[in-house]
Amino acid sequence: HGTSKINTKGHLEIGGCDTVELKETYGTPLYVVDEDLIRRRSREYMDAFRASGLSFQVAYASKAFCVMAMCRLAEEEGLSLDVVSEGELYTALQAGFPAHRIHFHGNNKTPFELEMAIDAGIGCFVVDNMVELHMLQSIAAEKKTTVNILLRVTPGVEAHTHEYISTGQIDSKFGFDIGNGSAFEAVGEAKHCTNLNLLGVHSHIGSQIFEVDGFQLAVERVANFAAKVKEELGILFQVVNLGGGFGIRYTEEDKPLHVADYVRAITDAVKKYFSLSYPKLPEIWVEPGRSIVGDSGTTLYTIGTSKDIPGVRKYVAVDGGMTDNPRPALYESKYEAMLANRAYDSNEETVSIAGKCCETGDMLIWDIELPTANPGDLLAVACTGAYNYAMASNYNRIPRPAVVFVKDGQSEVVVRRETLQDIVAYDVVPARMLKQPS
């Protein structure tokens, strides 16, 4: 991927940095992020939308990887930002991300989160349900201000990877159903909220999607809904947000399209279906997360012990695991890996990569071909840029790894490694239990 290559020492190099040297400098496990590749992916989105001729915003879904340096990078690339919690919002604001380009998502935003976001002057709230609609209206009224909103609708398209299911009414905790009239009702209700400015609607159909037909069907249903709203309520949507979910290649089983192809499929569908009823095409927003940062990340691990069960399986353990990448344990996600310090060595055996947690399910990769690995070898697992650091935990009181950005032969820490002091930093021992000095 990206700027990765094998150098003359036979080491994996990313962004011009030798991974063996990165290990010596920063230790392992280590998240290595190829900055140029994130920029390239961001530009693929921006360029494809420019080519469409439509007005647009590309909002990076920060849930995939939300740290201050990433927010800075997103701003530099002209992206907007999707946040779903006070923590992501705080991170963006601390990074100086322009508030008017922040969109706030979530099915249960707290009153505090709504106030914080209004006070910061964010660009748009994606309102998920009636309780939130009324709460936001009353808080905005109290503050004597008006805020922009989109209504999250569920178009009855549920996509996962290369399949989508089209249902009348889907069973989801998110949004207003188009199929049963609740979305229509919400638009009518929003119209009466004098402190809310309804910009349009939002729909998100799933994640790690490869095919374009689910997106196209979602556009068709949203366009039909928009036509009905226009006719019966006299309201025109200025903005239609089509969410994220564009797939990436983790292993050879995955066959994603290029970013430009997803964008073209969506913008063509918008032109096709909205021009039937709309005098002017709406502005199109999308929210890619994984496809902006996923393939830019590589996790480096040091190999430790192994256990060979003759005729059954060989386990090779690394110094991280489900604490830095819970996706295999949670979703049975597949990853590819290589020995980064002996990249030219040929594969000799089939092994399974185990983490170090005290849990049987803590496996990173099942049955991968590798050169025979020895303790101290460096394992690089690819495509860990999305939903890895973001979903990392301290299970077994394992400190979270550092994150470094690499570019043009330079490496910079963007998240420092947690220390053992960090691990106990929030612990409080009640005074009556304190150990008495002897």
Catalytic residues: 358
Q: Kindly indicate which of the ranges 140-148, 200-208, 296-304, 362-370 contains the residues binding ligand LLP, using the contact rule CB under 6 A.
A: 200-208
> Which CB atom, from 325 or from 411, has the smaller least distance to ligand LLP?
325
Site for ligand LLP in 236-275 (CB under 6 A): 243-246
Q: Which residue has the tokens 């947000």?
A: 241
Contact between 404 and ligand LLP by CB under 6 A: the answer reads no
Q: Is 41 annotated as a binding residue?
A: no
- Binding-site size, ligand LLP (CB under 6 A): 20
Identified binder of ligand LLP from the candidate list 56, 387, 389, 405, rule CB under 6 A: 387
Q: Is 290 annotated as a binding residue?
A: yes
Smallest gap, in angstroms, from Cβ of residue 174 to ligand LLP? 7
> Which CB atom, from 66 or from 414, has the smaller least distance to ligand LLP?
66
Smallest gap, in angstroms, from Cβ of residue 152 to ligand LLP? 8
Contact between 401 and ligand LLP by CB under 6 A: the answer reads no
Q: Is 289 annotated as a binding residue?
A: yes
Site for ligand LLP in 56-75 (CB under 6 A): 61, 64
Q: Is 245 annotated as a binding residue?
A: yes
Identified binder of ligand LLP from the candidate list 11, 41, 101, 290, rule CB under 6 A: 290
Contact between 327 and ligand LLP by CB under 6 A: the answer reads yes
Contact between 297 and ligand LLP by CB under 6 A: the answer reads no
Contact between 407 and ligand LLP by CB under 6 A: the answer reads no
Contact between 288 and ligand LLP by CB under 6 A: the answer reads yes
- Sign of dihedral through CA atoms 11, 15, 19, 24? positive
Contact between 154 and ligand LLP by CB under 6 A: the answer reads no
Contact between 289 and ligand LLP by CB under 6 A: the answer reads yes
Q: Is 288 annotated as a binding residue?
A: yes
Contact between 287 and ligand LLP by CB under 6 A: the answer reads yes
Identified binder of ligand LLP from the candidate list 4, 85, 291, 323, rule CB under 6 A: 291
Residues in contact with ligand LLP by the rule CB under 6 A: 61, 64, 82, 105, 204, 207-208, 243-246, 287-291, 327, 331, 386-387
Annotated binding residues for substrate, written as ranges, equal 290, 327, 331, 359, 387
